[in-house]
Amino acid sequence: MNIVFIGAPGSGKGTQSREFIEKYKFIQLSTGDLLRSAISAGTELGKEAKAFMDAGKLVPDDIMVNIVKGFLRDNRGKSVIFDGFPRTVSQAKSLQQVLAEQELAIDRVFYFKINPQILIKRLTGRRVCTNCGEIYHIETKPSKKELTCDVCGGSVVHRSDDKEDVITERLAQFENNTGPTIEYYRSTNLLVEIDGSLTPELVFKQIQNVLTL
């Protein structure tokens, strides 16, 4: 099974992906996480992506599609949660084509619908572990020991694109590019809208209910 989590920055895609890979046999393809790893490793891809990410802009489609192709080649036969990909109509069409070549398809697209005003608070308060990727929030889910991950003891940091001016640009990119992608999936009857403004447990239940139908 292949599912897509689509939603604005901070809508909970990463948080739910972690829940689903723990409880079900999914693997997660987070394009944002792959790009951040490439930046940390100082690869050519990382160098190219950094300027776009720091500015809150989307990394060009051809780069993203190549990353996804490589990931799918390395993970044949596995059930994938696509977290943060596709986020343009062109990426969505490429994904359909790449999956079709392996006689696969997207089964469901979950759209995490949420009021943008909540997102600024979620993102400015978010902290992430640089080692295992665990996601925290300084108010709603603080780590037990400040700056240290409860799960692996790694360093917990504030993401560099979680500054208010960059968040504003990321939200604009979401509206302009990912808005049409959501409509594209609505027209193919794959889209399931869920309320992303609740607690993580209630968001999980909404997705689980659809998957076990």
Which residues of the chain form contacts with ligand G5P (CB under 6 A)? Answer: 7, 9-15, 31-32, 35, 52-53, 56-59, 64, 84-87, 91, 122, 125-126, 135, 137, 140-141, 161, 170, 198-200, 203
CB 91 within 8 Å of CB 64: yes
Q: Is 170 noted as a catalytic residue in this protein?
A: yes
Give the shortest CB-38-to-Mg ion separation in angstroms: 16
Helices (H), 56-211: 61-74, 89-101, 116-124, 164-173, 179-187, 200-211
Q: Which is nearer to ligand G5P, 58 or 103 (CB)?
A: 58
The one catalytic residue in 36, 87, 122, 127 is 87
Strands 126-129 and 156-157, how do they pair? Answer: antiparallel
Q: Is 87 noted as a catalytic residue in this protein?
A: yes
Stretch that binds Mg ion, among 7-15, 50-58, 115-123, 147-155 (CB under 5 A): 7-15
DSSP state of 27: E
Stretch that binds Mg ion, among 9-17, 62-70, 164-172, 181-189 (CB under 5 A): 9-17
Give the shortest CB-158-to-ligand G5P separation in angstroms: 10
Give the shortest CB-47-to-ligand G5P separation in angstroms: 14
CB 161 within 8 Å of CB 53: yes
Q: Which is nearer to Mg ion, 71 or 104 (CB)?
A: 71
Site for Mg ion in 160-189 (CB under 5 A): none
Distances 89 to 101, 184, 186, 189 between C-alpha atoms, Å: 19, 7, 12, 15
14 binds Mg ion (CB under 5 A): yes
CB 211 within 8 Å of CB 25: no
Residue that the structure tokens 């993580």 belong to: 200
Stretch that binds Mg ion, among 6-14, 88-96, 120-128, 191-199 (CB under 5 A): 6-14
Q: Which residue, 200, 206, 205, is CA-closest to 140?
A: 200
Q: Which is nearer to Mg ion, 2 or 83 (CB)?
A: 83
Q: Is 186 noted as a catalytic residue in this protein?
A: no
SS3 for 177-188 is: HHHHHHHHHHHC
The one catalytic residue in 50, 113, 141, 159 is 159
Active site residues: 13, 87, 126, 159, 170
